[in-house]
Structure 1
Amino acid sequence: MNITVIGQGAIGLLWYHRLTENSKNHVSLVCSSRITSVPKEIKFTNINNITSSKALISANNQILAHAELILCCVKSYHVAEAIMSLKKRISSNAIIIFCHNGMVNFKQLPNLPQTCYTLLTTHGSKVIQPFHVQHTGLGHNDLGLITGTAQQEKQAKMVATLATALPSLTLSHHIKEKQWLKLAINCVINPLTAINDVENGQLLQQKYHKIIDKLLTEIISVAKYEGMQFSLDELKAQVLSVATMTGKNCSSMRSDILKKRKTEIDYINGYITNTAKSLHIKVPENEKLTLQIKALELANCQH
């Protein structure tokens, strides 16, 4: 399968490496325009801590035009920019898969003729240094259609290719519910670990339970308007389960703050806050965390 991965972050490089392991795939990479020098190879450290190298094939216009699958693995705030830059260079028959944190309002993106899916992953990965990624934790992928019409043959081929590269994978017909579940988990773990500068597992401490309850109660009230029904006990159990399983992990938002990078807060707690405003619902705890993260970002910019 002809596949182009967009983004040289942890998830983009993880997919690039795993997809190239199948000789039937022709895989290329589109790096950010902010990257001034693209190396000839990438390094990959697998789950067993074994490091290997492989050639890095950059996507040119000819490769992009023949890509059957575009896997867009960029930060939420770069999704629109990435798609605008590629819109006229990719086939209308290609499939686009979006893999990012938080909620992006696809109604605000330009109308795309391509069939689009979203991919939610719980696989852990981190960039050790530019173009060297480490697979830090096994997880699961959920894939679901978001716009366009699924063509059964093409969809089956895509699912088989992705499931072989990075197991396990489920094609979900209830992807919106899974997106909201992931959003709720991110709304708790990301800002609380970033603000308190703690690993995920430390959120299991009793002192965080009250704020977790308040955040989730607000999220449940907003989700209800999108047809999503969650119970506080079940949602909290999911959050604590993820915090347990990823106990030693540094959340992506904490990592962004520590590395003085822009966070995805606008697409996580900020999404809840903005949606609540449009519905005239009060979500003070989510709003407070959004402002606290923005203050940390601002402090980083001033140093």
Structure 2
Amino acid sequence: MVPIGTIFYFNPFHFSLCFAHRILGTKSMNIVVLGPGAIGSLWAIHLKKAGHNVSLWGNKTQSTDSIQLEDKPPILFDNRNTQALSQADLVLVTVKVWQVEHAIKPIIQHLDSDCMLMFMHNGMGAVDRIYHLVEQHPVLLATTTHGAFRPSANRVNHTGLGQTQVGAFNDKAQQCEFIADVLNHAQPEVFWNQNIKQALWQKLVVNCAINPLTGIEQCQNGQLANQEYQTTIEKVVSECADVMNADGFKADKQTLLDTVRKVIVATGKNYSSMYQDVFYNRTTEIDFITGYLLERAKCLHIATPVNAELYQQIKAKELSEN
């Protein structure tokens, strides 16, 4: 008989999915959060509170780092611990999309081939570019609508409740559906999506409509509800829908437009990540948001002039600031 309170350490790929589900309640996973920014810090705290062994891999060089969730006591994490990497069951990658390759290269040699890699960021295309580095791992994609903000380097605020979707990028990750339950136990609601790329495309359309405009206009999301922006937003969404449909993903223009408008209202007081990057003279995610759309449009021979114009305006801002 197994003593009450025993923690099971297991490799989920050596057991059936049913067995994994059965012991999830007592299984403490080894998790490394790569890139503990706002969203990464939020997940690190909630996963640790859920009983998992969580460490960070961030830019700070010290061996420990603390994160404070709003006004609650700070929580201490190991940082940049190569032993934690070698024992990791899951690496949650939450760096900016354009930082993915730079962040993955130094750590990949330390990971077991069964270690799951979950990429949670805005934009698309980054994992495709590094797949040759990670193809031996189960690779997962995730998207979340939780809101998080870091008012300082060691503090994170949870600014909006949301939902998280996760799904498989490669065949090896198809057997990792149980990870949705792990995440849901830490920070609900989390769902497994068999067609995660459809969800990522839908989020990409929202980002194409909101992020460049707020970066160019330097405004809160809610200002895009003004009449002066409606024609541009409608054209952006229409072009995106044309590309999605041609690329084999279902896209109804009116449904997508309604979604964009709902997000604008729901996040009216928020400043988009692209607004913040432009404001602070940082590299933006435009190459993996609108840039990804333009790449697919070019391959599919679809004209996207409005998105192309917004892309050029953001790139001009990047050049003028660097």
User: Is TM (by shorter chain) over 0.5?
Assistant: yes
Residues 204-258 of structure 1: CA distance to partner in whole angstroms, max 9, x if unpaired?
1121110011111111111122201212111000001111111100001001111
1:260 match: secondary structure? coil
Contact 1:117 1:147 in 2 (8 A): yes
Q: CA RMSD in A?
A: 1.6
Q: Residue in 2 aligned with 1:224?
A: 245
Q: How does 1:26-175 map to 2 (within 5 A)?
A: 26-32=53-59, 35-36=60-61, 40-45=65-70, 50-109=71-130, 110-111=132-133, 112-150=135-173, 152=175, 155-156=177-178, 158-175=179-196
CA offset digits 1:140-170 (Å, max 9, x no partner): 0001111132464x542x2222101111011
State the partner residue of 1:14.
Answer: 42
Q: Following the alignment from structure 1 to structure 2, what is the Cα–Cα distance between the partners of residues 66 and 99? A: 21
**For residues 314 and 63 of structure 2, what CA distance do their matches in structure 1 show?**
32
For the pair shown, the structure with the greater C-alpha radius of gyration is: 2
Residues 261 and 282 of structure 1: CA distance in aligned 2, closer, same or farther (over 3 Å): same
State how far apart, in whole Å, the 1-side matches of 2:128 and 2:232 are.
Answer: 32
Q: Which amino acid aligns with 1:238?
A: T
Query: Could you tell me whether the CA contact under 8 Å between 2:61 and 2:80 is conserved in 1?
Result: no
- Runs of 4+ in structure 1 deviating by more than 4 angstroms, as ranges, are 36-39
Structure 2 residue identity aligned to 1:294: K
Moved more, 223-232 or 176-185: 223-232
User: 1:67-121: CA deviations, max 9, x gaps?
Assistant: 0011000111111222222211101011110001000253321242111111100
Q: 2: distance between equivalents of 1:177 and 1:133? A: 30
Q: Where does the alignment leave 5 or more consecutive residues of structure 2 unmatched?
A: 1-28
- Could you tell me whether the CA contact under 8 Å between 1:195 and 1:292 is conserved in 2? yes
What is the Cα deviation at residue 40 of structure 1?
Answer: 3.6
Offset, 1:271: 1.0
Distance 2:309 2:66 in 1: 43
Unaligned segments of structure 1, at least 5 residues: none
When residues 136 and 65 of structure 1 are mapped into structure 2, their CA distance, relative to the original with a 3 A threshold, is: same
SS, match of residue 185 in structure 1? helix
Counterpart CA distance in 1 for 2:149 and 2:63 is: 19
Q: What SS does structure 1 have at the residue aligned with 2:265? A: helix
Q: For residues 38 and 207 of structure 1, do their structure 2 counterparts lie closer, same or farther at Cα, with a shift above 3 Å needed?
A: farther
- The aligned amino acid for 2:190 is L
Aligned 8 A contact 2:118 2:139 in 1: yes
2:318 partner SS? helix
Whether the 8 Å contact between 2:278 and 2:318 is mirrored in structure 1 is yes
SS at match of 2:78: coil
TM-score normalised over the length of structure 2: 0.87
Q: Following the alignment from structure 2 to structure 1, what is the Cα–Cα distance between the partners of residues 219 and 171?
A: 41
Equivalent residues of 2:168, 2:174 under 8 A apart: no
Please state whether the residue corresponding to 2:197 is helix, strand or coil.
Answer: helix
The one-letter code matched in structure 2 to 1:194 is G
State the alpha-carbon separation in 2 of the partners of residues 214 and 252 from structure 1: 22
1:186-215 CA-to-partner distances (Å, cap 9, x unmatched) read 001111111111111111112111001111
Q: TM-score, normalised by structure 1?
A: 0.92
SS in 1 for 2:169: strand
Is structure 2 residue 288 aligned with structure 1 residue 267?
Answer: yes
Kindly state the Cα deviation for residue 39 of structure 1 after the two structures are TM-superposed.
5.8
Tell me, yes or no, if the aligned pair for 1:189 and 1:243 is still in contact at 8 Å: yes
User: Does structure 1 retain, via aligned residues, the 8 Å contact 2:39–2:94?
Assistant: yes
Q: In structure 2, how many angstroms separate the alpha carbons of the residues matched to 1:95 and 1:286?
A: 35
Tell me how far 1:289 sits from its aligned partner: 0.6
Distance apart, 1:299 and its partner CA: 2.0
